[in-house]
Structure 1
Amino acid sequence: MHFSPTGLERAPHFPLGGGLVLERGSLHRKFWESLRSVRTGIVLLLLVVLASAAGTLILQRPITEPEQLARAYSPSTLRWLDAVGLTDVFHAWWFVALMTLLCVNIVVASLERFPTVWRYFSRPYRRPVPHFFTGLSLRQEIPVRSPRGGMEAAERAFHRLALKPQRVGSSQDFSLFAERFRFARLAAYVVHLSLLLILGGGIVDAVWGYRGYVALTLDSQTDEMELRDGTKKPLPFTLRCDGAGQENYPDGSPRRWWSRLAVLEHGREVLRKEIEVNDPLVHRGLRFFQASYGSTGQVGSIRLLATPKPKPGSVPAPASEIILRPDQPVQLDAGTSVRLAAFVPDLVVNGDRIESRSDQPNNPAIQLSVLSKKTAETRVWLFPKFPAFSHPDNSPYTFQFQDLAMGYFTGLQVSYEPGQWAVWAGCILMALGLVMAFYFVHLRIWAVAVDDGRGRTVLWVGASASKNREQAEARFRRLVAEIEKELQSESQARAAHGSSLARA
């Protein structure tokens, strides 16, 4: 292994593409130089960040309802945003292309510089040669009486400072080498790998992932979802809503939406969970987030008292409570049933037409269909706000309104993001790489006894640090002071031993 005066081994030149050497000034070489340059990587990274910011600031489909998009943007602006993919940035072809180019730039730039760093890591330079001494800014020459005594004193000093010296060479002619945190040399490549995982996960999500929407009412179930373009996509299971609600603050503003969901496979319940915002149900890679909650504008249930009409001379029969739901008839007796025929939440008469002013039950009107073997079908109107307002009918029952509940829906955002594990792994790896880069320094220290060219034996001590020169210099000065202290102690012990021999 040959070293330059700076102590750095010159990186070899590798031909590209199976022996193809690019000529200086050629178009291919310019393209290659641009592709692997740090400047290109910075530009691509900035473009990805700007595109991500646009995807955060601009309302995105299908998370945003069409009505909200129509209120936020004019028709011409919305058409332009859809055309360039700014309403679905993270699935747009140009965003995938930007992330792919950035990945290629990181890989090419890393492969260009990695061999030299790997040699530092896999084959550390343990035995210094004379011309290597002058290339280090941290170096010191300490006069010693004998090479072996100086090396043994240096070895003790290394141990006292928690360094672990290695003897390099023979037992009679050896040098010392110690290092700390060699893995810090790979910090940049750990960060590069983390970026590749994050970008790769984003590419996988953009190409193979999708998002959609599901709206469920109480006790309803579905096995499909609606994508951003309005098409239906089947689910690999059935999703059922067992309950949903809204909790409000004292001022009436919404505080929390929740839904109780159940997952069915082959008619059997396999999972149940109550979800809310940021606490989704996850099954088979699909995530169901609580996105909205509101009224359907339709009645959910109506509670009535049904009383059989008494026959002349008979004892009146007791009333029974029934609950009507849309499309669910209720049996009153062996020959009579009742169902909800029509419901108007906020009745208003406009000429000869019955209309509703709103979706709220401010003035409800209820029409019942009573089917009896004796009287065939009879239509009965109930007006809860005006119970005395009625008209004769042939129904064998009279009905008294008790209560009603409007129907509500829960809106669920559905996402399939197969690359999320890679993204999270990349985030963890990036944190590790940044810790390695900012808190660990690769420090190398050498010590060897040499002839200074003037007939004196000196202990040459040198050090090199990958960064944080001030901190490395302070540690190096402490080591030099410790070696000098060891040599002084050894000299004093030798002088004391000589005095005792003289007295003897």
Structure 2
Amino acid sequence: MSVKQRGFFGRLWDFFCSLKLTIFILIALAITSIIGTVIQQNLSRQEYLRVFSEDTYRVLDSLQFFDMYHSWWFIGLLLLFCVNLTCCSIKRLPRVWRLVHNPSVTPSEQMLKAFSNVDEKLVKGDLPTLLDRMKAFVGAEFATAQVNEKDGSTYLYAEKAKYARFGVYVTHLSILIIFLGAIIGNLYGYKAFVNIPEGGESDRVWMRNGQTSIPLGFSVRCEDFSVEFYGNSQRPKEYESILTVIDQGETVIENRHIEVNDPLSYKGITFYQSSYGPAGDEVISIKVKVRGEDKVDAFSLHRGQLVELPSGDRLRIADFTPMFRNFGPAARLEVLPKEGEARVVTLFKNFPKFDEERGGDYIFTLVDFDQLYYTGLQVTKDPGVWVVWVGCTLMIVGCLVAFFISHRRMWVVLTPQDNGKIGVRLVGSAHRNQPAFELYFDELKKKFRDALSA
């Protein structure tokens, strides 16, 4: 390999290890995520054309802004960030590895002077006795010390939580794992929807554009749907579906109640209660009584359906609403007599005797109505979700280690002097949370001097 080639690969390596590249990628991800939030994703072409012009739609569609999180450039940004993070970690890891596994047990004078947490004292006594005293002191107050000699000086070295230096790398690894899970989810997962009427079933779901269907590999049947409203309004208070899952002709999940924030999951596919709506016209129950007689006829009618009364007159439901202002369900009937003009009658379910005051040959009562609903389900499949959870767990562990645990080191250096005394130097260092370590070292200095004076 030539010098020129080595220079190119060196510059390429520096580029991928660059902090500027990291900042650029993070800003790009933030901006594109804002775009993905502002522009609603995975709608149909018709829905987008209600907001954008034809030319704007084509430009945004070519840039994949309508399915941004599955676009090649967004996944490319994630991969570039992974490469950048990996290169930065690899570049700095060897130094940390050497520091942890090959610590400087006999540091140079220049290295010792670089530390700010230092105390030293000249004492009388013989070296072996003083060494044993200092070894016992370090072991009692800090950690077990190892003894080494160099250039006539004796060094005691002890450390705590040395693997805390790898906390940041655990955090980096967790980010890579989370991104891996996100990429797996984007490539092999989906978010879709399906509307199932009561009593119906479906073995397919549809993407948000409404044009692409995805087979489930099993069927989901809506056994029942119920909705509860606030007071006499049509504002939903609570609604739920009862679902049954049928796989290869066998019922595997039966009558499972689901509601908002309580989904159903099967084979890695999750069904969330998302919406609902009417499935067809209401079935309206009315009673007809001939004034002055005891006989009552009951009818169950759809809107617009014509029915003949025993007298030969005819009747149909002209209109119906489940909530007329604050009066509750109301219906408008058209009575078509054999002779004469048609008459219009208004009925209220909450006022069953309302029509008695009208007069006329008939007394009509709105008994009840039955509305079939469809349940709207949001369907998600994310095979990378467990990978993301593993990454999140590692991130919590890595952050706790990186921010709350520090690698602390302690040296005691005993150096015989020409006057027969021994110079004893206590040196301490921590790679995180320096203020807390300084407070700890101040207390340790007092105990250090007490141990020397004993």
User: If the TM-score is normalised by the length of the shorter chain, which range does it land in?
Assistant: 0.7 to 0.9
Amino acid at match of 2:336: F
Match of residue 370 from structure 1? none
Match of residue 184 from structure 1? 164
Structure 1 residues 101 and 411: CA distance shift in structure 2, 3 A: same
Does structure 1 retain, via aligned residues, the 8 Å contact 2:318–2:333? Answer: no
1:442 corresponds to which of 401, 407, 410: 407
Match of residue 110 from structure 1? 89
Q: SS at the partner of 1:115?
A: helix
| 1:411 aligns to 2:394 (yes or no) | no
* CA-based RMSD: 3.6
Amino acid at match of 1:180: K
Q: SS at the partner of 2:333?
A: coil
Give, in whole Å, the separation in 2 of the partners of 1:107 and 1:232. 38
Match of residue 310 from structure 2? none
TM-score (norm 1): 0.70
| 1:242 aligns to 2:198 (yes or no) | no
Match of residue 41 from structure 2? 60
Aligned residues: 400
Match of residue 67 from structure 2? 88
| 1:389 aligns to 2:372 (yes or no) | no
Residue 452 of structure 1 and its aligned partner are, at CA, apart by: 4.5
Does structure 2 retain, via aligned residues, the 8 Å contact 1:23–1:29? Answer: no
Does structure 2 retain, via aligned residues, the 8 Å contact 1:60–1:87? Answer: yes
Q: SS at the partner of 2:66?
A: coil
| 1:125 aligns to 2:108 (yes or no) | no
Does structure 1 retain, via aligned residues, the 8 Å contact 2:155–2:411? Answer: yes
For 1:30-64, what per-residue CA distance to the aligned partner results, in whole angstroms no more than 9, with x for missing partners? 332111212211211221222223222321225xx
| 1:134 aligns to 2:81 (yes or no) | no
Match of residue 179 from structure 2? 199
Does structure 2 retain, via aligned residues, the 8 Å contact 1:275–1:281? Answer: yes
Please show how residues 153-192 of structure 1 align to structure 2 within 5 Å: 153-161=133-141, 163-169=142-148, 175-192=155-172
Amino acid at match of 2:67: D
Does structure 2 retain, via aligned residues, the 8 Å contact 1:150–1:459? Answer: no
Q: SS at the partner of 1:97?
A: helix
Please show how residues 98-497 of structure 1 align to structure 2 within 5 Å: 98-128=77-107, 130=109, 132-144=111-123, 145-161=125-141, 163-169=142-148, 175-229=155-209, 230-250=211-231, 252-271=234-253, 272-296=255-279, 298-299=280-281, 301=283, 344=304, 385-386=332-333, 388-389=335-336, 403-452=368-417, 456-488=421-453, 490=454
Give, in whole Å, the separation in 2 of the partners of 1:95 and 1:362. 48
Give, in whole Å, the separation in 1 of the partners of 2:3 and 2:272. 53
For 1:201-253, what per-residue CA distance to the aligned partner results, in whole angstroms no more than 9, with x for missing partners? 11111111122111101011011111244122111211111222333334542
Q: SS at the partner of 1:126?
A: coil
Residue 388 of structure 1 and its aligned partner are, at CA, apart by: 4.2
Does structure 2 retain, via aligned residues, the 8 Å contact 1:153–1:483? Answer: no
Amino acid at match of 2:41: Q
Q: SS at the partner of 2:83?
A: helix
Residue 27 of structure 1 and its aligned partner are, at CA, apart by: 4.0
Amino acid at match of 2:197: T
Does structure 2 retain, via aligned residues, the 8 Å contact 1:167–1:174? Answer: no
For 1:229-278, what per-residue CA distance to the aligned partner results, in whole angstroms no more than 9, with x for missing partners? 41221112111112223333345423333222221112222124322233
Match of residue 29 from structure 2? 48
Give structure 2 stretches of 5+ with no counterpart: 288-294, 307-316, 325-330, 340-364
Does structure 1 retain, via aligned residues, the 8 Å contact 2:218–2:246? Answer: yes
Give, in whole Å, the separation in 2 of the partners of 1:300 and 1:443. 75
Structure 1 residues 43 and 215: CA distance shift in structure 2, 3 A: same
Does structure 2 retain, via aligned residues, the 8 Å contact 1:299–1:343? Answer: yes
Percent sequence identity over aligned pairs:
29
For 1:180-215, what per-residue CA distance to the aligned partner results, in whole angstroms no more than 9, with x for missing partners? 222220121111011101111111111111221111
Does structure 2 retain, via aligned residues, the 8 Å contact 1:243–1:259? Answer: yes
Give, in whole Å, the separation in 2 of the partners of 1:259 and 1:183. 52
Residue 404 of structure 1 and its aligned partner are, at CA, apart by: 3.6
The answer to which of 177-186 and 448-457 deviates more is: 448-457
Give, in whole Å, the separation in 2 of the partners of 1:262 and 1:78. 40
Give, in whole Å, the separation in 2 of the partners of 1:463 and 1:478. 12
Give, in whole Å, the separation in 1 of the partners of 2:432 and 2:217. 54
Give, in whole Å, the separation in 1 of the partners of 2:162 and 2:300. 76
Q: SS at the partner of 1:46?
A: helix
Does structure 1 retain, via aligned residues, the 8 Å contact 2:229–2:235? Answer: yes
Amino acid at match of 1:192: H
Q: SS at the partner of 1:386?
A: strand
Does structure 2 retain, via aligned residues, the 8 Å contact 1:194–1:430? Answer: yes
For 1:388-427, what per-residue CA distance to the aligned partner results, in whole angstroms no more than 9, with x for missing partners? 43779xxxxxxx9965423321111111111111222222
Residue 445 of structure 1 and its aligned partner are, at CA, apart by: 0.2
Give, in whole Å, the separation in 2 of the partners of 1:233 and 1:435. 42
Does structure 2 retain, via aligned residues, the 8 Å contact 1:285–1:418? Answer: yes
TM-score (norm 2): 0.77
Give, in whole Å, the separation in 2 of the partners of 1:96 and 1:411. 30
Give structure 1 stretches of 5+ with no counterpart: 1-19, 306-317, 325-341, 347-355, 364-383, 393-399, 491-504
Does structure 1 retain, via aligned residues, the 8 Å contact 2:42–2:207? Answer: no
Does structure 2 retain, via aligned residues, the 8 Å contact 1:151–1:459? Answer: no
Give, in whole Å, the separation in 1 of the partners of 2:72 and 2:338. 65
Structure 1 residues 215 and 67: CA distance shift in structure 2, 3 A: farther
